A and B are shown apart, each in its own frame.
Chain A
Amino acid sequence: MSDCWGCPVADEEILRAVGAFLDRGYPDERRLAALRSQGEDRRLLDEAAAQGWFGLVAPEADGGLGLSPAALVPLFRLFGRRLLTGPLLEQMLLPGLLLSTARADGARTRLAAALTGRRRVAVLDPGTTLDWRAANGSLTLDAGTLAGSVDLVRFGAVSDLFVAVVDGGGPDGASAVLVVDRDRPGVTVTGHRSTDPGASYARVTLDGVAVGPGDVVAWREDGAALVTALRGWQRVLVAAELAGIARHVLDLSVAFARQREQFGRPIGSFQAVKHIAASAAQRVIMLESFVEAVADDSATLAPESFALAALALKGAAAEAGRSVCEDALQIHGGIGFTHEHELHWFYKRALSLRTWYGDERETATETGRRLVSARV
């Protein structure tokens, strides 16, 4: 089935162009090299910037295409299938989304530099986890001073522009989104060792960093709305990536089950194997439909409803992403457990994305909380 059912023609062309680039210029060796260095492939960023990937959702006034982030959904499904890693969420979504809101020139100039790949963005959001949030730090903003820390900052160590999410930590509980240069006094970045083959992580501490109006992207109601949108879209795109991963490992498993013989016949003819594959296929199709539906609805849903849809989708993706990979491992037998086969990379990547912005249990609890408190 097409990755882009019902997409506007422009979106489909973009998908084709990106697919063609990957076929042509992104061979397995390059992918493996990136996976061995936590998603670092400087050349890919240059190529992506040159092809305009980073400007897809940026406003036209900033030289972007002004597309909805929903246009990124088919691309992230493709990235999942091809296991393309790197700061794609950070470069393709964040600058564009923030530029649509940012007013201050200082913030705008720096975000615009990310569109050409001259600056690398990372987001300091304590809300990338729900149940472990207390351990992930927090940020406060008081009298022009940004303070606090965030423990899990994706690509924090290799980025030079931080998007700081102050979630209710401003005066009177206000929310804000700011941009902070890495070389500002008071900013400390400490890298973590990570199990994610597709991204590096760092702790970023802001020790009384002075900020001014030129650093503010959004503030108070606008700030809260931007935090909601930023989390919602990251959840949707991570879910899309997981859907792509799940699809690929399912396809691998089906091909393997048709060709691998034991007891004189293909293992796919054994019902015990067939049923694992069939059940996985059902979950993959359901996840793909869910991703499409939320992308379709994003244009019409009220912000809180979109956030709820994104939360539910992320939970579904977390669960299906992991379980389909585990089914694939089982179908592959011993070979799936080795570095000889690519499966383990997909699995490790799925496990990483599974937790990012909430696994199926965290998102379920939060979904239930929002439903009961009628915040939707």
Chain B
Amino acid sequence: MTDTSRNDADLDAYRRRVRAWLARADIPEVPLDLEGRFTVLREWQKTLYEAGFVGIAWSRKAGGQGLSPLHQLVFSEELARAGAPQPIGLIGVDVVGKSIETYGLDWQREQLLPRLLSGEDIWCQGFSEPESGSDLASLRTRARLEGDEFVINGQKVWTSWAHKAQWCALLARTDADAPKHRGISYLLVDMSSPGVTARPLVQMTGDDEFCEVFLEDVRVPVRNLVGGLHEGWAIAQDTLSHERGSYTLRRRVEYEVAVEEAVRDIRGHADAVGTEPPDRVLEQLGRSYTAVRALEALTRRTVRRQVAGEIPSPLDSVDKLGLNEVEQLLYASVTDLLGPFRLAADRAPFGLDGPRWVKEHYYSRAASVYGGTSQIQKNIIGERLLGLPRG
């Protein structure tokens, strides 16, 4: 793992403080089922928030600690090292919340964000629609201005945690006549508003983590607009940048933990049977370790960009592509080692926890889809980073 604290007394002291706190903390066991997981992790988020460990790099006004992204990284690393789970409200904390902090009105920052950080309010991201996935700017959900309210009609889909959320950061078309990128606004929608219906969809993993969201004459006060009217696209880009960059930072810490677990289990099994695992096992493990280590190196640049304020950037897409390739390589490599024993959940080939790896492997297939598919990231890298002409 990175030693981000090198040569920096302040970060060293922070790391020690985090370690000391985690050593005393009551780290929860995370249940496998979605409901149980949600409840436990939401409670855990509250505990972390009260200790000052959620929104570490956020401004104090928004309920954060006013520290740097390096402090945030130190915390994420220590959390993982202690074997402790991440908080649940990551769409809020890592993705949409940051855009509200940057572009939002004072009341939005001051009243909504502390509750977002504490997990009191869970947030979701209402971008994708049935007819608008990769071509997000073609979205059709309409918001009509009526006095001091928007009236929203339309449908969102794949909205993660919508059925659990109190709030939604929603993109809606406010000017149907403008070119498609120029008629979109960024709205904050109270999910308990009349006319909002979230219908869960079961994912490949068996969890119903995302939803279809139907909006019928949903009334939203004008003060819930983030940024200018019709100017939501730039903010959406900012949100996607967080989803690609910050999310990669957090996920890579989880991959490190996963590799460590695989190593521990395979080593334990090797010790128990008294023979070294076959070369195939060692190779897959080494490959996974190497990939995760390379991703860790890449995310050091992400942190530097964040510290320097160089976001959004086409390099966010390099991070996201890195995330999806490493995640898929890692979980496919380890799951492959189950061989035919993936079919018998009670067996633990090479000491590996079969059901856990199978589930993670399923989940890894989403990594090249959410946050913009891998092809979309390649379009962005090709055009905006390499300067290749548009097709």
Residues of A within 8 A of B (CB): 5, 254, 257-258, 265-266, 268-271, 273-275, 277-279, 281-282, 285-287, 289-290, 292-294, 297, 300, 309, 312-313, 315-316, 360-361, 363-369, 371-374
Contacts and interface: CB of A to CB of B under 8 A. Distances in A.
A254 B382 CA distance: 9
A315 B386 contact: no
Interface string B366-391: 00000000010111111101111111
Given A278-B378, A278-B382, A368 B301 contact: no
A270 B391 contact: yes
Given A364-B284, A368-B289, 9 more contacts: A269-B389, A269-B391, A271-B391, A274-B378, A286-B295, A290-B294, A312-B290, A369-B276, A369-B286
Contact of B294 (A275, A289, A300, A364): A289
Contacts of A274: 378-379, 382-383, 386, 388, 391
A265 B321 contact: no
B318 A285 contact: yes
Given A285-B318, A373-B276, A257 B388 contact: yes
B282 A368 contact: yes
25 contacts: A268-B386, A274-B383, A274-B386, A274-B391, A278-B377, A278-B381, A278-B385, A281-B386, A282-B325, A285-B298, A285-B301, A286-B297, A289-B298, A290-B298, A293-B300, A300-B3, A309-B293, A312-B294, A360-B290, A364-B284, A365-B279, A365-B286, A367-B290, A372-B267, A372-B270
Contacts of A368: 277, 281-287, 289
Given A285-B298, A289-B294, A371-B289, A364 B283 contact: yes
Interface in B314-335: 315, 318, 321-322, 325
Contacts of B390: 269
B311 interface: no
Contacts of B391: 269-271, 274
Nearest to A374: B267
B389 A366 contact: no
Contacts of B263: 371-372
A315 to B, nearest CB: 5
A316 B388 contact: no
B298 A286 contact: yes
Nearest to B295: A286
Contacts of A281: 318, 381, 385-386
A297 B277 CA distance: 30
B3 A282 contact: no
B6 interface: yes
A224 B380 CA distance: 48
Contact of A297 (B3, B266, B318, B322): B3
Contacts of B382: 268, 274-275, 277-278
Contact of B321 (A258, A266, A279, A363): A279
A269 B382 CA distance: 9
A316 B2 CA distance: 18
Contacts of B297: 286, 289-290, 292-294
Given A281-B385, A300-B3, A371-B263, A316 B286 contact: no
Interface of B: 2-3, 6, 263, 266-267, 270, 276-277, 279, 281-287, 289-291, 293-298, 300-301, 304, 315, 318, 321-322, 325, 375, 377-383, 385-391
B389 A265 contact: yes
A371 B321 contact: no
A312 B288 CA distance: 10
Given A279-B378, A365-B286, A258 B388 contact: yes
Nearest to A253: B386
Given A281-B381, A289-B300, A312 B279 contact: no
Contacts of B389: 258, 265-266, 268-269
A367 B3 contact: no
Contacts of A273: 388
Contacts of B322: 282, 286
Contact of B290 (A292, A297, A364): A364
A285 B382 CA distance: 13
A293 to B, nearest CB: 4
Given A271-B391, A281-B381, A316-B290, A293 B296 contact: yes
A367 B289 contact: yes
A242 B20 CA distance: 42
Nearest to B386: A254
A281 B387 CA distance: 12
B387 A258 contact: yes
Contacts of A271: 375, 379, 391
B387 to A, nearest CB: 7
A282 B318 CA distance: 5
Contacts of B386: 254, 268, 274, 277-278, 281
A258 B291 CA distance: 31
A372 B300 CA distance: 27
A300 B321 CA distance: 30
Contacts of A313: 293
Contacts of A290: 293-294, 297-298
Contacts of B378: 274-275, 278-279
A364 B286 contact: yes
Nearest to B267: A372
Nearest to A364: B286
A372 B273 CA distance: 13
A368 B325 CA distance: 20
Nearest to A270: B391
Contacts of B270: 372
Contacts of B295: 286
A372 B285 contact: yes
Which of A258, A287, A315 has the most chain B CB atoms inside 10 A of its CB? A315
